[in-house]
Structure 1
Amino acid sequence: MARSARAEQPGRAFAGLTLPGLKAAGLRLPRLSLPGGLRPWITCLSLGFVLAALLGHGRQLLQLSLDAQGWWWLLLAVGLQGLSLLVNGLAWVVILRWRGLRPRPAPLVSLYVSSNLRKYLPGGIWHLAARVQALRQEGAPLQDGPTGTAPALVATLLDPLLAAVAALALVPLGGWQNGLAVLCLLPLLLLHPRWLQPLLLRLERQRARQLGLSQSLEQELAAGETGAAALPAIWPWGPLLVELLFVLLRFAGFWACVWAFDLQLSLDVWTWLGGFALAWTVGLVVPGAPGGLGVFEAVLLLRLAVELPQASLLAVALSYRLVVTLADVLTAALVGADERLAVSGRSSQ
């Protein structure tokens, strides 16, 4: 008995060293935090990696050149990226309908495309802020008029979430990849209503804090108005399929860049698709530079540079970045011009 009592004493002594024990004793563990937050560090590391690749392969990059056919491929890539942006706007229409709202498709797609340019502003959330605000104010592109803060936040959050899940579902087409294929399919489980509602509720509050809408959100929730809790109790298959089409069109633009540099035969198309889908998703969800600048390129290089000449792959990645940016600007300009023509046509009548 004495031996067992002595054996228990060290256990009692170490019991106070657990996290609850330390908190009860008034001791605080130091929190590890990076100066300035995580976002600038990810941005610096990603851009630093890409810059190092540029410096290391600058001579090979200068030796690469595009013929006339290559420029036509890049022009096609711009058109495909612009089309993908319009499809992404249509995906948002489908999301709002699934959410139970009644959107007006043309104004909603116009809002989506015009606000898309704000993702390049520092912070990376201003395109989402513009969409939330537009859904809440007078003149909202909804048949029933403006909606509340909670529904607007949920409708805006569902778009990148479903796009990321759709893109990850394409990664397994690139092969087993040491088990990565299975991991990329797991996010599909998040779309089950049991998991989707609490996830969106958490993201809803987090985004409300970032946009300064926490008070408005809590007032609505306290009054019984619903956001994430009012989601349909079914899987969002319709919105997911449209987001999948959007990601495939994004890849089609990337694939045109691959053809521009004659790399289409270096790997099979499924490996290209899997590598692109992974890099695009990481660039979307990881907090870094606006528009995923640097993050997409770094992940693509890390994933495919083992099997390809790094200089050629870097040329494809950089040309794709320029193509996407140009397509965003041109599509927004075209949509804006169409709106002005429509307004002038109504005023002349």
Structure 2
Amino acid sequence: MKKKIIPFLKYLILGITLFFLFKTLASNWDKITLEIGQISNAEQIILAIATGVTLLAHTWSGLVWTWIIKEFDQRTDSSGLIPVYLHTNLAKYLPGNVWHYILRVNAATKACGSTAVAALSVILEPLLMAAAALITVLVGGIFVAYNTSAWIVIAQVFALAVVLCGIHPWILNPVVIFLQRLKIKKNQSGSMSSMLKSIRRYPLLPLLGEIGFLGLRSIGFILTLYAIGPVDLNQLPLLVGAFSFSWLLGLVTPGAPGGLGIFEVTAIAILQYTIPEAQIVTATVLYRIISIIAESVAAGLSWLDRYLFA
């Protein structure tokens, strides 16, 4: 019964989200086309820079993934795994929203020789991203800006504490070791202790790396917003926090491949009273296009690196 209900709920969430997104687009279509039609050459350059920054963000995220694997004391070839990360990025838009994870687990297993470590690195990456997003949201103070109930802020702090504790070696290592034991045959028990891998320290560097990833993505979004209309410098913390929260919901919401629809609807809902609605709607749509272009370029470059310059 659950197997039938869960996929239905995923598609229901995606359908409702896309309905509200298309409804918002339809009601602002004339203004959106007007905004896009008025983009000058200078603003096109800004959009190109936003695309470049977003491309850099994805490349940086691939590097951070190699840091996560190295936290397990693995000697991995970063130059080999970063292209894998980049060319699997587009797979997140496929139905199920898991294919990019599966491809990365297979690639990391070949690189480090441990399926458990590969799987944990792929699981740990979105957890670190979620923690980084929560930190950014709290620093950005988007809920304080709207005088939202203190309970929401408390819930955020609690969620952040749970995630930060969950990635602590005291909690993570037993899971890692358990998964590795499942892969080790009984006749190898004598050398088991030397074969098991674990995290030796708190993954602080990867966490900071994910904060940097969100910072780069936020810059790309703000540049896109600036290309459409004016942006007040005093709004920058709010914009970074709003972007991070919208991106986080897109990350954790089931049934939304690549956060498609969830990010746009959330960003519009948060910023519509601060930024002119036509500007924020146009910017979110353009930034989705920019993100896909950046991911496609990254995938293409990684393919060239893998097959032409190997």
> Normalised by the shorter chain, which TM-score bucket?
0.7 to 0.9
Shift of 1:305: 1.1
1:90-239 alignment to 2 at 5 Å?
90-136=63-109, 140-142=110-112, 146-147=113-114, 149-175=115-141, 176-177=144-145, 178=148, 179=150, 180-189=152-161, 190-192=163-165, 219-220=182-183, 231-232=198-199, 234-239=201-206
Q: Percent identity?
A: 28
Query: Of the two, which has the highest radius of gyration?
Result: 1
Residues 283-327 of structure 1, C-alpha deviation per residue, up to 9 Å, x if partnerless? Answer: 111113211100100111111112222221110100000000000
More helix by share: 2
Distance 1:191 1:36, change over 3 A: closer
TM-score (norm 1): 0.76
**2:238 matched residue in structure 1:** 271
CA RMSD of aligned residues (A): 3.0
**2:16 matched residue in structure 1:** 45
Residues 104-125 of structure 1, C-alpha deviation per residue, up to 9 Å, x if partnerless? Answer: 1100111111111111111110
Is residue 154–residue 204 contact of structure 1 (8 Å, CA) maintained in 2? no
Distance 1:152 1:44, change over 3 A: same
**1:88 matched residue in structure 2:** 61
Is residue 167–residue 203 contact of structure 2 (8 Å, CA) maintained in 1? no
User: Which fold has the larger relative contact order, with Cα–Cα distance below 8 Å and residues 6 or more apart in sequence?
Assistant: 2
Is residue 78–residue 253 contact of structure 1 (8 Å, CA) maintained in 2? yes
TM-score (norm 2): 0.85
Is residue 192–residue 234 contact of structure 1 (8 Å, CA) maintained in 2? no
Selected match of 1:63 from 21, 25, 34: 34
Residue 102 of structure 2 aligns with an amino acid whose one-letter code is A
Distance 1:169 1:222, change over 3 A: farther
Residue 100 of structure 1 aligns with an amino acid whose one-letter code is D
**1:211 matched residue in structure 2:** none
Is residue 191–residue 236 contact of structure 1 (8 Å, CA) maintained in 2? no
**1:245 matched residue in structure 2:** 212
The gaps in structure 1 that reach 5 residues or longer are 1-29, 206-215, 344-349
Please state whether the residue corresponding to 1:133 is helix, strand or coil.
helix
Give the whole-Å Cα distance in 1 for the aligned partners of 2:167 and 2:32.
Answer: 50
Residue 47 of structure 1 aligns with an amino acid whose one-letter code is L
